Amino acid sequence: MSDSDTRDRPDALRTPIVAVLGHVDHGKTSLLDKIRGSAVSEGEAGAITQHIGATAVPLDTISGIAGSLVDPDDFDLPGLLFIDTPGHHSFSTLRSRGGALADIAVLVVDVNDGFQPQTEEAIDILKRTGTPFIVAANKIDTTPGWNPQEGEPIQASYEAQSDRARSRLDENLYEIIGQLSDAGFSADLYWRVQDFQGNIGVVPVSAVTGEGVPDLLTVLMGLSQRYMKDQMAIDVEGPGAGTVLEVKDEKGFGTTLDVVMYDGTIREGDEVVVGGMGDPIVTEVRALLQPKPLAEIRTEKRFDRVDSVAAAAGVKIAAPDLDDAMAGAPVRVVRDRERALVVADVESELAEIEVETEEEG
């Protein structure tokens, strides 16, 4: 690489990676669907992009959904990337350089059910990985006497409720705040939280009516901007780093990897090191694949081939020799670095994952 290459490479702010966790049936999938649906109905073709294993919601779309809650001029992060595979079992194996792959998490709690066993498990994982999170107190529309306010911010929605419905909801919300406190977290309704580093914000939402979804996106965006900006500054052109979400057989491509890239760029033809069941796999990227836009999904080919992908993004990697690759393992582009060093890096990261897995088991 020439000198000018290194000198001119600008650092860019990447999209924060968001994971959605919580007890089964508390509404993780519905909430992701609602966010995707709201983004689509915001109009602008191509505003929301479906990645492999993830959904990218750009800042403009977030501000469209959030209305007056978000002024795009206040932000310089490009948006949010939601990992599509909800569930904390996958979350616990999704690491990036010793931390969690997700920069921030949404813990979904059914406002009527409160904490359940998998909520506790998710909390333990969030604690252990030190992942900042907010709580989505979901299903507020099931509060008896609720008067639904489709897609509205929570304040407007509150104002439209009877005293009785409002106080019922409040009771449930304070129950959850108490449970968070029992788990060792100081928490409050998000609009009362001044310092999000020391306190967990609770956002009342409905994944069915979309009430509170503007607030949820606003809080995620605000937290990322305020506390994670430094972390989001990456060398976009640098050798890419990512984490395997899934190892999949794909017709015409053989064994492929669904990967979330959190750093740098990966290009077709790059030499990559991938964590495997035995020694790390050293291989070469044959193709990088993105899902076709929904409108074209009827065509035979499900994927578009792209030359390169920059973090943060989800991508499918086709390459030889991937049979022993495993979910949760690191992927590293070698490029202008010493291959042996990259292999050693991947090996030490794998060793770390194995220790964790043994501790859990």
If residue 209 lies in a helix (H) or strand (E), which one and from where to where? none
Q: Which is nearer to ligand GDP, 22 or 276 (CB)?
A: 22
Q: Is 26 in the site for ligand GDP (CB under 6 A)?
A: yes
- CA dist 118 and 15 (Å) reads 28
Site for ligand GDP in 74-93 (CB under 6 A): 86
DSSP tag of 71: -
- CA dist 206 and 246 (Å) reads 30
Q: Is 24 in the site for ligand GDP (CB under 6 A)?
A: yes
Supply the minimum distance, in Å, between the C-beta of residue 162 and ligand GDP: 18
Q: Is 69 in the site for ligand GDP (CB under 6 A)?
A: no
Q: Is 35 in the site for ligand GDP (CB under 6 A)?
A: no
What track of x and - describes contact with ligand GDP for positions 194 through 223 (by CB under 6 A)? ------------xxx---------------
Supply the minimum distance, in Å, between the C-beta of residue 131 and ligand GDP: 18
If residue 18 lies in a helix (H) or strand (E), which one and from where to where? strand 17-22
Q: Is 113 in the site for ligand GDP (CB under 6 A)?
A: no
Burial class (CB in 10 A: 0-12, 13-18, 19+), 218: buried
Q: Which is nearer to ligand GDP, 216 or 288 (CB)?
A: 216
- Short-list 290, 236, 280, CA closest to 259: 290
Q: Which is nearer to ligand GDP, 66 or 213 (CB)?
A: 213
- CA dist 276 and 57 (Å) reads 32
If residue 77 lies in a helix (H) or strand (E), which one and from where to where? none
Give 3-state DSSP helix, strand, coil % of the chain, rounded to 5: 35, 30, 35
Q: Which is nearer to ligand GDP, 141 or 349 (CB)?
A: 141
Burial class (CB in 10 A: 0-12, 13-18, 19+), 338: exposed
Region binding ligand GDP by CB under 6 A among candidate stretches 17-25, 190-198, 256-264, 338-346: 17-25
Region binding ligand GDP by CB under 6 A among candidate stretches 23-31, 128-136, 158-166, 258-266: 23-31
Supply the minimum distance, in Å, between the C-beta of residue 213 and ligand GDP: 10
Backbone angles phi, psi at 249, to 5 degrees: -80, 130
Backbone angles phi, psi at 343, to 5 degrees: -60, -45
- CA dist 133 and 155 (Å) reads 21
Q: Nearest residue by C-beta to ligand GDP?
A: 27
Q: Is 242 in the site for ligand GDP (CB under 6 A)?
A: no
Question: How do 313-318 and 330-333 pair as beta strands?
Answer: unpaired
Q: Which is nearer to ligand GDP, 31 or 62 (CB)?
A: 31
- CA dist 44 and 349 (Å) reads 41
Q: How many residues bind ligand GDP (CB under 6 A)?
A: 16
Q: Which is nearer to ligand GDP, 31 or 220 (CB)?
A: 31
Site for ligand GDP in 137-176 (CB under 6 A): 138-139, 141-142
* Residue numbers at the binding site for ligand GDP (CB under 6 A): 22, 24-30, 86, 138-139, 141-142, 206-208
